[in-house]
Structure 1
Amino acid sequence: MTRLQANALLLLTALIWGSAFVAQVWGMDSVGPLTFTGSRFALGALVVAPLAWREWRQLARQGRAPGRAALGWIGLLGALLCAGVAMQQIGLQTTSVTNAGFLTALYVPLVPLLAWALQRQRPGWAVALAMPLCLAGTALLTGARYGQALQPGDLWMLGCAAACAAHVLLVGQVANRLGGAYLLSCGQFAVCALLSGALGLATEPITLDGLATAAGAIAYTGVLSVGIAFTLQVVGQRHAPPADAAIVLSAETVFAALFGAWLMGDRLGPGGLAGCALILGGILLVQCWPMLAQRLRSTPTEPA
């Protein structure tokens, strides 16, 4: 696969993820947020299951089948994933698709801060610069739309970003220990589906008519957003440089805003657009600067 083809797959991934915000809103017209989350992640687990089963057999043949400790880590990641996605889904009831896309993406600068607090990994200057950019962008984005401070839906999105940051901080380490990305993904999707589904059964009214009405949105977000888009991301990042992947996948926030404007009627004034630009700038700074700096350091200098 060429670099251009890999970047095209990653752009398609960002497109699916960005458009999924609209489907998530539509899906809650007839079912609750927890029921919707459980249904779509159950579908996503089924999509990844064949790849996960293949990895399991490969690891078993090598004598590296996951034990209880690995399953415990998968359970923890599934719980963090459930917390983040459930808060996002609840927040979409009272905030716009545009706000949701950009506020959720705040997990990017939060990851190095959590690594600093929990693992004593000191963040670089890029994070120190990105955080005030993101905070200023958040203030502009939320205040510009509503004419006041954060709304309940925006607060849910900030909670989602925090949970996603904790998830991202751990998922790479667990994947390396486990040796199987698809197995980890399928397992955490299944845990997320079980937890959110159980909470939905306990707290939300569920009817067959409601599920039937939401079936299209559940299928789109479950099969495409959770299952297929994740697979495309894995395949694309195997053949694309990290800097390419970081920039292309960050387009998810832009696609969320575009689909929100097209299908949901979201509109932003100058302040909101400036807030989006600041958040996106902070995200790209955190994602791309370390890789750019490493490339510059590795480039040999010509003798004078």
Structure 2
Amino acid sequence: MLHTPVESREPARRRLPISRQEGALLGITALWGSTFLIVHLAMQHSGPWFFVGLRFAVAGLVGIVVFHRALRGMRWRDVGAGAAIGFSIALGYGLQTMGLQTISSSTSAFITALYVPLVPLLQWLVFRRAPRALTLVGVALAFVGLLLLAGPDALTIGLGWGEIATLISTLPIAAEILLIGFFAKSVDAGRVTVVQLLVAGAVGFIAMPFAGEAAPSFSWAWLLPGIGLGVASCVIQLTMNWAQRSVSPTRATIIYAGEPVWAGLIGRIAGDRLPPIAIAGACLIVAGVIVSELRPGRRRAADPAPAAPSSSGADPQPDLG
């Protein structure tokens, strides 16, 4: 009499199409997209650098409460990594917030998405790794999309200050992603998260006098969003530092490409009405982001996740493009 093997009686476990880390990145991407409208509204009551300082100072304080035990083992490597990432965060969010004073949250989000195809270009400059052909195609699509999103004036070099500030902000935001990938496996995620948030907050406040910005008069309209976004920023930065230890940069950047889509949907609900040509430009930007990360003819297994964390500081050059 034949006996059914024990293994065959057990129900097969279904593997989810995405990992837990990828699901977390999807969640923070949606959260990230919602912040554009909140910041845009807060800019009616506060200056950009003060708001950035408040937002990340609150985030840093939340991080201290959450990771106070891990902070006892702080190393200079954690401090250095956190300071570098924090400076990039402050510069990127500061310029982006300046732009949100004059442009809609949807427009800001789609322009900000240009940081994704910029990541492999920065890697080319820093690590001397030439970008793939599809990366260049993606950059071209995103550039055409930017022109359409900015409107007819863009063809006569008529981008407004808000669009220009947001466009410049994509460089430090791309550098942030590059730095996170660079340090991810050689530092403690909790410690680095706290340091980078505190540094970003400090840089925001320090930049105020240089930008000619005074502290705003008290208003719940900037205090509550500042506190709420501070908590959200802590969650977002911690999740990025944790998830990118096991999610490949390619997969992570494709997930991040959904950020402007979420922002556009939320902006639409709030009353943003982009003209058809701008919507076409937004679609081209998202297409450029995705195309720049495609790897045709490669199996998923060929795009390995990063190795387990190591204190040796290995993997100094992540594959971001």
Q: Structure 1 length normalisation: TM-score?
A: 0.83
- Report if the CA contact (8 A) 2:47-2:216 is conserved: no
Superposed CA deviations along residues 235-264 of structure 1, whole A, max 9, x for unmatched, are: 66677776664443321110111111211x
The question of whether the paired residues in 1 share the 8 Å contact of 2:114 and 2:289 is answered with yes
Higher helix fraction: Structure 1 or Structure 2? 1
Choose the corresponding residue for 1:53, options 49, 54, 68: 68
Q: 1:156 aligns with which of 155, 159, 165?
A: 165
Q: Cα distance, 1:106 vs. partner?
A: 0.8
Shift in alpha-carbon separation, 1:97–1:200, aligned structure 2, 3 A:
same
Cα 1:266–1:184, aligned 2, differ >3 Å: closer, same or farther?
same
Secondary structure of the corresponding residue to residue 185 of structure 2: helix
Does the 8 A contact of 2:185 with 2:245 survive in 1? no
Which segments of 5 or more consecutive residues in structure 1 lack a partner in the other structure?
A: 299-304
Deviations 1:36-62 (A, max 9, x none): 1000101111222245434344xx3xx
Match of 1:285 in 2: 291
Matching residue's letter, 2:121: L
Structure-1 separation of matches of 2:100 and 2:160? 11
Cα root mean square deviation, aligned = 2.9
State the SS of the aligned residue for 1:111: helix
State whether structure 2 residue 282 is matched by structure 1 residue 276.
yes
Consecutive unaligned residues of structure 2, counting only runs of 5 or more, are: 1-14, 304-321
What secondary structure, in the 3-state scheme, does the structure 1 residue paired with 2:218 have?
helix
Q: Compared with structure 1, are the counterparts of its residues 9 and 292 closer, same or farther at alpha carbon in structure 2 (3 Å cutoff)? A: farther
Q: So what's the TM-score if we normalise by structure 2?
A: 0.78
Q: Say which of 14, 18, 37 aligns to 2:29.
A: 14
Partners of 1:45 and 1:187 within 8 A in 2: yes
**Correspondence for 1:251:** 258
Q: Paired residue for 1:81? A: 89
**Are 1:13 and 1:230, in contact at CA under 8 Å, matched by a contact in 2?**
no
- CA deviations 1:254-275 (Å, max 9, x no partner) are 0111111211x22122211111
Distance 1:70 1:27, change over 3 A: same
Deviations 1:24-82 (A, max 9, x none): 0111222111111000101111222245434344xx3xxxx522x65344323322221
Q: How many residues align?
A: 286
> Given that residues 193 and 241 in structure 2 are in contact (C-alpha distance below 8 angstroms), is that contact kept between their aligned partners in structure 1?
no
How far apart, in 2, do the equivalents of 1:285 and 1:126 lie?
6
Percent identity among equivalent residues?
29
Matched, 1:176 2:185: yes
Secondary structure, aligned partner of 1:176: coil
CA distance in 1, matches of 2:96, 2:202: 17
Asked whether the 8 Å contact 1:81–1:163 carries over to 2, the reply is: yes
One-letter code aligned to 2:133: W
| 2:78–2:192 contact (8 Å) kept in structure 1 | no
Query: 5 Å matches for 1:145-224?
Result: 149-177=158-186, 179-200=187-208, 203-210=212-219, 212-224=220-232
1:66 aligns with 2:81: no
> 2: CA distance between counterparts of 1:50 and 1:292?
47
Larger of the two Rg values belongs to structure? 2
Matched with 1:30 is 45
Q: Distance in 1 between matches of 2:120 and 2:154?
A: 30
Distance 2:277 2:19 in 1: 35
Cα 1:297–1:163 shift into 2, 3 Å? closer
Within 2, Cα distance between the matches of 1:278 and 1:70?
A: 38
In structure 1, the residue matched to 2:59 is 44
CA offset digits 1:153-200 (Å, max 9, x no partner): 1100111001112222223223333x2122112111111111111233
1:295 matched residue in structure 2: 300
Distance (whole Å) between structure 2 residues aligned to residue 243 and residue 76 of structure 1: 22
Compute the displacement of 1:8 (Å): 4.4
> Is the 2:145–2:280 Cα contact (8 Å) retained in structure 1?
yes
Q: CA deviation at 1:118?
A: 2.3
Q: Distance in 1 between matches of 2:147 and 2:159?
A: 8
Which residue of structure 2 lines up, in the alignment, with residue 302 of structure 1? none
Q: Are residues 5 and 115 of structure 1, via their aligned partners in 2, closer, same or farther at CA, if it must alter by over 3 Å?
A: closer
Partner of 1:128: 136
- Deviation sequence 1:210-242 (CA, Å, 0-9, x none): 3x3312211221112x01233344566677776
Cα distance in 1 between the residues matched to 2:266 and 2:75:
40
Cα distance change of structure 1 residues 98 and 132 upon mapping to structure 2, 3 Å threshold? same
Q: Take 1:124 and 1:23, find their aligned partners in 2: how far apart are those partners?
A: 37
- Cα distance in 2 between the residues matched to 1:44 and 1:228: 8
Match among 103, 107, 112 for residue 104 of structure 1: 112
SS of the aligned residue for 1:53 comes to: coil
Change (3 A) 1:191 1:296: closer
